[in-house]
C-alpha cells in the first residue's frame, strides 16, 4: 500500500506530472537553497530525490528574503519534449505587499541542464502553466490585492483576488489581457490553481481555506478555459477541516495525475500535528486514489472527502522502511539531503575539504542574508542526530559552532561550542522561543567548560521534547534541561503570524567578529526512532 505522507517532512504544495512510467513531484522550498525539491517514483510508493533545479545565482538569489518567503508553490509539467518548471520568488511576507516574481525554467531531462529563468509576471504567487491540446499555453496565477483593506470605503475581507488566466508563448510572453476566471467557493483564500483537461471539460483545482486546519482542495469545471466555472457537487474534493482528530490534517493544495493505464490520483499537502496542534514536520506530501463517476466529476476512491493514510497503489510495491543515515564528509559534494539558507554563493559559507564539512562563520543564526547553516529536514516525529566538531577554538563569545534544531530565526535551539570570559572554551545553549516580533535569545543552561580537542554533539527528539547531549572521550552526557521541541514547528511561537516550512537539524557556525573562523564537521548521522 501507499502510506501517507509519501514525502515526509517539509515538502508542501506538491505539483505532480508523469513522463512515461516515471512520476515526478515538485515541492516548495521557501528560503532554503537550492530551490524546489523534485522527487521521482515508478510506483507512487517509494520516492527518491531527483534534483533541486534552482541552483545558480541567475535562477535564484534569496539573500534578504524574510523567513517563509522565497520559493512558493512550483508547478512542474512535461510538454514539447521538455520539463517546464514555474516558480515564484516571494520577497515579502508581512504587510500588504508580497513582491511575488514568477519565472519559468525548462530542461530536456529532470537532471537538467535547467535553463536560466524567463520572467513572467508579479501579479501574485502560486503560478502554473497549462499546455492545451491545441498547443497553446496558458499561465494561471493568484492575483494578490494589496488594497484589500478597503476599496471605495467598502471593507474587503481578503487579499486573495481571484485566479488569473492569460495566454503565454515562448516568443511573446504573456498575450492579451489577463482574466479572472475563478474567485473560489465560500471557503475563500483561493490559491494554487492547476488545470486538467478531460472529455471536453477543463477541470480547475485550487487550494482554499488557508494553509492551516481549514485547508481544502476545491474543484470546478468549465467547457471554456476562460469560464465560467461551476463548483464540484461537494465543493471540496479533499479536506479534513471538519474532522479535527483525523491523522492527516491541513489537507489541500495538490494536482491530478493519470497513470499509464488510466487510473487517477491526486496529490495534496497535509500535516501530522502533535497534541496541542503543533506540526514539527511541517506540511508534507500525500496522495489519494480517485475515480471519475458518471456525472463527469472526480471523487476520492471509496467516497468521502477525508484523506486516507493507506491508499491502493497503481502497481504492487513494497515500501522501504525508515533507515538510519550516516554521512562522512569525505567527498567533494554535499550529500543530497542537506540544504542551506538563501545564498546562491555557498562557497562563502561552507566547503568540503575531503575530510570534513568546513563551515565558515559569517552572520548570526538570526540573519536573513549570509548564515552558515547546513541542515536536513526532520522527517520523523522521533529521531536522534549527531555530529562531531573537530576543529574550532573560539576566542570570543562572538564565535560559535555546533548542532541546531532549526525552524527559522525566531524558532531554534542551538548547542554551541563558544567562549566564556571566565571559563574559556565552553558549551552553551542558545534558544529562541518563537516570540514575535521580539525574537530575543534564552540561555537554558549554564556554560560548561570544555577540554581542548574534538567534541561530539547530539540531540534526541521525542515528539514535543528534545534533549541535547555531548561527549568528550567518555560516555554521552546530557547538557541542559529537556527543551520544548514544539517551538520548532509551524504553529510554534510565531506560527500564528505565518510559518510555512518545517523543522531542520544540522550544523551551524557564526563569527560576528568578521574574521570568518572555520569549524570542521567530519560526520553527521540521523536515525529515526519511530514515526
Nearest to 54 by CA among 114, 2, 100, 104: 114
- Cα separation, 117 vs 59, whole angstroms: 6
Phi (first) and psi of residue 260, to 5 degrees: -60, -30
- Can 370 be counted among the known catalytic residues? yes
- Cα separation, 424 vs 529, whole angstroms: 36
Are 189 and 198 in contact by the 8 Å Cβ rule? The answer is no
User: Catalytic pick from 31, 208, 308, 370?
Assistant: 370
- Which residues are CB-neighbours of 527 under 8 A, at least 6 positions away? 324, 325, 383, 384, 385
- Cα separation, 363 vs 376, whole angstroms: 20
- Cα separation, 305 vs 299, whole angstroms: 8
- Cα separation, 263 vs 44, whole angstroms: 12
- Which residues are CB-neighbours of 264 under 8 A, at least 6 positions away? 256, 257, 258, 289, 290, 291, 292, 298
Grouping H, G, I as helix, E, B as strand and the rest as coil, residue 275 is coil
Dig out the grid coordinates for 518 from the structure.
572555520
Q: How many other C-beta atoms can be found within 10 angstroms of the C-beta atom of residue 319?
A: 13
Enzyme catalytic residues:
370
Amino acid at each position: 500500500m501507499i502510506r501517507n505522507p509519501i514525502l515526509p517532512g517539509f515538502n508542501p504544495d506538491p505539483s505532480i506530472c508523469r513522463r512515461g512510467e516515471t512520476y515526478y513531484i515538485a515541492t516548495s522550498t521557501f528560503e532554503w537553497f537550492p530551490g524546489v525539491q523534485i522527487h521521482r517514483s515508478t510506483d507512487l510508493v517509494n520516492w527518491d530525490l531527483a534534483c533541486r533545479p534552482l541552483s545558480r545565482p541567475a535562477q535564484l538569489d534569496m539573500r534578504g528574503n524574510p523567513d517563509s518567503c522565497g520559493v512558493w508553490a512550483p508547478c512542474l509539467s512535461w510538454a514539447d519534449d521538455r520539463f517546464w518548471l514555474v516558480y515564484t520568488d516571494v520577497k515579502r511576507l508581512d504587510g500588504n505587499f508580497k513582491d511575488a516574481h514568477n519565472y519559468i525554467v525548462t530542461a530536456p531531462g529532470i537532471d537538467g541542464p535547467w535553463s536560466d529563468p524567463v520572467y513572467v509576471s508579479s501579479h501574485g504567487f502560486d503560478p502554473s502553466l497549462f499546455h492545451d491540446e491545441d498547443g497553446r499555453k496558458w499561465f494561471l496565477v493568484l492575483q494578490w490585492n494589496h488594497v484589500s483593506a478597503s476599496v471605495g470605503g467598502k471593507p474587503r475581507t481578503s487579499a486573495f483576488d481571484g485566479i488569473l488566466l492569460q495566454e503565454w508563448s515562448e516568443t511573446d510572453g504573456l498575450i492579451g489581457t489577463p482574466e479572472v476566471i475563478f474567485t473560489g467557493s465560500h471557503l475563500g483564500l483561493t490559491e494554487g490553481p492547476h488545470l486538467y483537461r478531460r472529455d471536453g471539460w477543463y477541470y480547475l483545482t485550487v487550494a482554499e481555506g488557508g494553509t492551516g486546519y481549514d485547508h481544502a482542495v476545491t474543484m470546478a469545471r468549465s467547457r471554456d478555459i476562460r469560464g465560467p466555472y461551476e463548483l464540484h457537487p461537494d465543493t471540496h474534493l479533499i479536506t479534513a477541516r471538519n474532522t479535527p482528530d483525523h491523522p492527516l490534517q491541513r489537507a489541500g493544495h495538490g494536482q491530478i495525475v493519470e497513470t499509464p493505464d488510466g487510473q487517477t490520483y491526486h496529490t495534496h499537502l497535509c500535516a501530522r500535528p502533535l497534541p496541542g496542534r503543533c506540526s514539527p514536520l511541517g506540511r508534507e506530501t500525500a496522495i489519494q486514489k480517485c475515480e471519475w463517476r458518471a456525472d463527469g466529476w472526480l471523487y476520492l476512491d471509496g467516497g468521502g472527502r477525508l484523506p486516507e493514510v493507506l491508499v491502493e497503489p497503481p502497481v504492487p510495491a513494497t515500501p522501504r522502511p525508515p533507515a538510519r543515515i550516516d554521512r562522512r564528509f569525505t567527498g567533494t559534494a554535499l550529500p543530497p539531503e542537506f540544504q542551506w539558507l538563501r545564498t546562491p554563493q555557498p562557497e562563502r559559507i561552507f566547503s568540503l575539504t575531503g575530510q570534513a564539512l568546513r563551515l565558515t562563520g559569517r552572520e548570526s543564526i538570526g540573519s536573513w542574508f549570509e548564515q552558515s547553516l547546513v541542515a536536513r529536514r526532520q522527517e520523523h516525529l522521533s529521531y536522534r542526530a549527531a555530529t562531531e566538531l573537530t576543529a574550532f577554538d573560539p576566542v570570543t563569545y562572538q564565535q560559535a559552532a555546533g548542532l541546531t534544531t532549526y525552524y527559522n530565526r525566531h524558532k531554534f535551539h542551538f548547542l554551541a561550542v563558544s567562549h566564556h570570559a571566565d571559563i574559556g572554551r565552553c558549551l552553551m545553549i542558545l534558544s529562541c522561543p518563537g516570540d514575535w516580533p521580539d525574537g530575543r535569545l534564552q540561555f537554558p543552561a549554564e556554560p560548561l567548560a570544555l577540554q581542548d580537542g574534538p567534541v561530539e554533539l547530539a540531540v534526541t527528539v521525542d515528539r514535543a521534547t528534545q534533549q541535547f547531549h555531548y561527549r568528550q572521550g567518555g560516555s554521552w552526557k546530557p547538557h541542559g534541561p529537556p527543551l520544548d521541541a514544539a517551538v520548532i514547528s509551524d504553529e510554534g511561537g510565531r506560527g500564528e503570524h505565518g510559518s510555512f516550512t518545517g523543522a531542520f537539524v544540522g550544523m551551524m557556525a557564526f563569527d560576528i567578529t568578521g574574521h570568518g573562523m572555520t569549524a570542521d564537521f567530519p560526520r553527521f548521522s540521523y536515525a529515526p526512532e519511530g514515526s
